[in-house]
Structure formats: C-alpha cells, structure tokens
C-alpha cells in the first residue's frame, strides 16, 4: 500500500497538501493515535531536511506501508549551483549540517575509499560515519542513520564523540525514526525515513 505522490520543489513545499496525503494514507492503513502523530512529525522533518539541505530541486514525496510500519520517501532532482558539484547546501547548524557535509563528500567521490588521503585527513571524523565504503546498492554515497549512530557509540575517543552523539539525540528524526537512509545518484537524491508502529 502506498499514498499518492505529491510534487514538491525548492519553492513550493506544500505542507498542507502533504498533511492531507498523510491523513488519507493513515486512514487506509489504520494508523491512529501516537503512531499517526509520529508519522506526521517525521513527514514534517523530511520536508524540513529537504528545504535545509537541497538547493534548487523538484521532486516527489509519498508514504509506503512496510511489514513493521511505513517509509516516508522523498526523491528529488537537484540542480547544482555555481559551486558545481556541491549540490547539497550546508544546513545552519546541528545534525543536518553534518549530514549535508557528508553527502557533499559522497557526491564528489563514489565511495569514501576513493577520497584522496590528503583530503580525508583534513575532514572531521564524522564525515565517514554512516557512509558506505563501496559496493552495495546503486544509490552512490548511501548514508544510514543506524551506521552513523553505531560508529559514534563505538568511538574510543569519548570526549570527541560525545558532543556529536548528544547533538544527534536531540534530533526529532533520530529519536522517532527506526532508520534513515539518504543516497545520491547523479543529480538524484533519495531520502527514506522509516517508522515503526507500536
């Protein structure tokens, strides 16, 4: 089961229309109460992530039922600006700013392994957290919230990792989503925010 697809762009976010699409989907899927509240919050955060991280874009957002809950999916075609390959804009601050930096690196290089050693040494450690290092699905530079959190939790340098982990846990998406994956293929960006039903 899936909802209707809603067209959006960097100029038109259609928040009210998205809420109506969610309402219709929830009614068909029998999602109510706190589960519905969480799904609405995650959908709002998905649109927020797109508005903060993507430059000029057009795309679609929709919801699909899964075995354990639902996936909120946003696929966008991004038009890079004058910076050329820097298709992801840096968010003001916080968790999304770090994700934006990581995605810019993954867009410029097919995998972390292809990144020049001199450049890799200059980047903050968190740049590679959550990024695949080669292989995997077709979506290049696939980033996963679960891998990002796991790598942070396993860092031996706790004073260095704790502030980044604390910042992550303050994020609504990190607290409510079962998983978040973001991938880039050419000019396409695909975000999938998965929620579980209680």
How many residues are listed for the chain in this entry? 198
* pLDDT over 90 (residue 115): no
- Give the count of domains, the chain: 1
pLDDT for the residue numbered 127: 56
Are β-strands 69-79 and 188-196 bridged in parallel, bridged antiparallel, or unpaired? antiparallel
pLDDT for the residue numbered 69: 96
- With the C-alpha atoms ordered 172, 66, 196, 168, is the resulting torsion angle positive or negative? negative
Q: Is position 54 within any domain?
A: yes
Q: Is position 190 within any domain?
A: yes
Residues 6+ apart with CB under 8 A from 67: none
pLDDT digits (tens, 9 = 90+) for 138-163: 455 577 888 888 888 887 777 877 88
pLDDT for the residue numbered 104: 65
Distances (CA, A) of 19 to 61, 78, 152: 11, 24, 34
**Least confident residue range of 75-89, 127-141, 148-162:** 127-141
Q: Is position 1 within any domain?
A: no
Q: Is position 87 within any domain?
A: yes
Q: Is position 83 within any domain?
A: yes
Q: Which domain holds residue 147?
A: 6-196
Tell me, letter by letter, the H, E, C secondary structure of 100-127: HHHHHHHHHCCCHHHCCHHHHHHCCHHH
CA–CA gap between residue 20 and residue 26 (Å, rounded): 10
**Least confident residue range of 26-35, 68-77, 82-91, 135-144:** 82-91
Q: State pTM to two decimals.
A: 0.81
Arithmetic mean of pLDDT, 20-32: 94
DSSP E strand stretches across 50-148:
56-65, 69-79, 140-144
* End-to-end CA gap in the chain: 19
């Amino acid at each position: 089961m899936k909802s209707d697809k809603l067209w959006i762009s960097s100029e038109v976010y259609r928040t009210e229309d998205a809420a109506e699409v969610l309402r219709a989907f929830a009614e068909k899927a029998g999602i109510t109460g706190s589960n519905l509240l969480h799904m609405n919050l995650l959908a709002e955060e998905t649109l927020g992530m797109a508005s903060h991280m993507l430059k000029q874009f057009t795309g679609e957002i929709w919801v699909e039922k899964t075995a354990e809950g639902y996936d909120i999916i946003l696929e966008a075609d991004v038009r890079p600006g004058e910076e050329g390959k820097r298709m992801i804009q840096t968010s003001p601050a916080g968790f999304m700013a770090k994700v934006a930096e990581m995605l810019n690196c993954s867009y410029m290089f097919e995998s972390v392994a292809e990144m020049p050693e001199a450049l890799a040494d200059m980047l903050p450690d968190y740049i590679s957290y959550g990024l695949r290092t080669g292989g995997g699905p077709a979506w290049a530079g696939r980033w996963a919230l679960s891998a990002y959190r796991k790598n942070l939790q396993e860092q031996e340098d706790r004073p260095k990792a704790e502030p980044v982990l604390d910042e992550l846990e303050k994020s609504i998406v990190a607290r409510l989503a079962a998983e978040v994956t973001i991938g880039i293929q050419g000019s396409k960006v695909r975000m999938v925010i998965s929620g579980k039903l209680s």
